[in-house]
Amino acid sequence: MTETLLISPARSTSIFRGPNGIRAGWRVLIFVLLMVSMVVLINLTLRLAHAHIGGTSQLSQLSPLGTTLMEAPLFVFPVLASLIMARIERRLFRDYGLPLRSAFGADFWKGSLIGFSAISGVLLALFAAHTFRLTGLAIHGSTIVSAALAWTAAFIFVGLAEEFLFRGYLQYTLTTGMGFWPAAAILSVLFALAHMGNPGESKFGLLNVVIVALLFCLFLRRTGNLWFAVGFHAAWDWGQTFVYGVRDSGVAPYHNLLDSSFTGPRWITGGTVGPEASIFTPIVLAIVAVLFSRFYRENRYAASLSSRP
């Protein structure tokens, strides 16, 4: 008499592993621990370097170089951690939203055009409300070219760093565990909380940060990658800081092309935050979302546990 041993699927799962491998929550924890380890390592290295050469140095948050150096770890560390996780999970790096074959392609440039148009639309509304005006050129001659190029490079770095940090590996992995929009909501709130330390930030400004983060998630879901969001993010910031010379999340402009001024109530102008906290910003973002959805109707984001080329 022979017996057939049937193994229940439930036996192959545990608190650590699901039917498709390590559970999403644990993968996120491993990713975060990798990031923390890198931060600790680089901080120790910098401390030793400062102790060796003596003295301290400070970087201005308002300069292109300072902005790039600040954002560099926010891009490099998540990329390295994601590469490690890709090996552990047997996935491709492009699964996490930044396929190299699409780098700076059509989606990026479309996003850039819409991002610059969006911030221009906000400021045009403020101008029509007699609360914003341009007062002239702030820089001249060859400085315009050098500043434009430097800020362009800096804000592309900002777009890459912040989009991949909040909507790259974490968005992908949490989507496999709880679904796209619940994951998007959690990460969008975290994205806003990361802006709390900005000078002059306000509650309405943070609410608008959540709204724009959800818009970036919509871009990701409909295009299938982060390049549209990276372009929009970079061009929005570039327009604020370099072109129009207005505050970007409370940060004053530096080497901006145009000088400008605001007059009127805080809820219209955005006050110390800048136009990102203006009542016109969520209106413009809603218009962008509606128009974008009409042209990008299909959901192309495939956060599947068995994603393969």
pLDDT of residue 22: 85
pLDDT in tens, 187-210: 999 999 999 888 888 999 999 999
pLDDT of residue 304: 44
* Residue 261 β-bridge partners: 133
* Residue 132 β-bridge partners: 262
In angstroms, the CA 158 to CA 72 distance is 8
pLDDT of residue 3: 43
Ramachandran assignment for 5, one of left (phi > 0), alpha (psi -120 to 50 degrees), beta (any other): beta
Cβ neighbours around 254 below 10 Å, total = 18
pTM of structure = 0.88
In angstroms, the CA 218 to CA 221 distance is 5
In angstroms, the CA 282 to CA 293 distance is 16
3-class SS at 130? coil
Token duo for residue 115: 């991002």
3-class SS at 248? strand
In sequence order, the 6+-apart residues with CB closer than 8 A to the CB of 9 are: 19
Residue stretches of the chain with pLDDT short of 50 = 1-11, 52-61, 304-309
pLDDT of residue 197: 83
pLDDT of residue 201: 86
CA distance to 2, 8, 18, per residue, from 5 (Å): 10, 10, 22
Under 8 Å between Cβ of 241 and 229: no
